């Protein structure tokens, strides 16, 4: 019972419009300059958790392809 009542209280405190205005949508596209490898990733971050986005981007920045080349990282933001 407590879980249900706590959940409803939490849902009352958060409006969808408040969450939507506070989100940063990021699309990262990794591609190899030597071969045809290309992969896209999508994620959403709240503005208050921007450090999570920075950590993810630092990891993407050092990824290498199976052919040994450093992958190109292109970012698309929707703020």
* pLDDT number for residue 40: 94
Does residue 18 sit within a domain? no
Q: Which domain holds residue 54?
A: 23-78
Does residue 30 sit within a domain? yes
The model's pLDDT over 9-52, given as tens digits with 9 standing for 90+, comes to 445 444 544 555 789 899 999 999 999 999 999 989 898 988 88
Our count of domains for the chain comes to 1
| Euclidean distance between CA atoms 13 and 43, whole angstroms | 24
Q: Where are the alpha helices (DSSP H) in the chain?
A: 2-13, 16-21, 50-61
* pLDDT number for residue 12: 47
Does residue 9 sit within a domain? no
Does residue 13 sit within a domain? no
Which is more confidently placed, 53 or 70?
A: 70
């Amino acid at each position: 019972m407590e879980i249900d009542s706590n959940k409803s209280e939490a849902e009352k405190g958060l409006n969808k419009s408040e969450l939507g205005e506070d989100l940063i949508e990021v699309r990262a596209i990794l591609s190899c300059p030597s071969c045809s490898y290309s992969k896209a990733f999508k994620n959403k971050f709240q503005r208050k958790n921007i450090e999570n986005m920075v950590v993810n981007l630092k990891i993407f920045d050092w990824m290498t392809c199976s052919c040994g080349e450093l992958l190109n990282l292109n970012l698309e933001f929707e703020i």
